[in-house]
Homo-oligomer: A and B are copies of this chain.
Amino acid sequence: MKSAVVLLSGGLDSTTLLHHVIKNLGYEKVYALSVFYGQKHDKELQMAQWQCDQLNEVKQLDLFELPSFANLIEGASALTAGGQEVPDLDSLGDSERTQPPTYVPNRNMMMLSIAAAYAEAKFCKEIFYGAQAQDEYGYWDCTTDFITHINQVLSLNRKNEIEIVAPFVNMKKSEELAIGIKLGVNYAKTWTCYRGGEKACGVCPTCVERLTAFKELNQIDPLDYE
Binding site for B on A (CB under 8 A): 62, 64-69, 72-74, 76, 98-99, 103-107, 109-110, 113-114, 116-118, 120-121, 140-141, 143, 145-146, 149-150, 152-154, 156-160
Closest Cβ–Cβ distance, residue A210 to chain B (whole Å): 23
**B-chain residues with CB within 8 Å of residue A117 when the two chains form the complex:** 69, 72-73, 104-107, 110
Copies in the complex: 2
Smallest beta-carbon distance A25→chain B, Å? 24
Q: Determine the chain B residues whose CB is within 8 A of the CB of A106 once the complex forms.
A: 113-114, 116-117, 120, 154, 157
Interface contact B73-A118, CB-CB below 8 Å: yes
A145 to chain B, nearest CB (A): 6
Query: Is B118 a contact of A72 with CB atoms below 8 Å?
Result: yes
Assess whether B113 is in contact with A109, with CB atoms less than 8 Å apart: yes
Among B76, B114, B154, which residue has its beta carbon within 8 angstroms of that of A120?
A: B76
Let me know if A67 and B69 touch, CB within 8 A. no
| Interchain CA distance A72-B72 in the complex, whole Å | 22
Given contacts A110-B110, A149-B149, A158-B99, are A105 and B121 in contact (CB under 8 A)? yes
Q: In the complex, what residues of B have CB within 8 A of residue A68's CB?
A: 62, 64-65
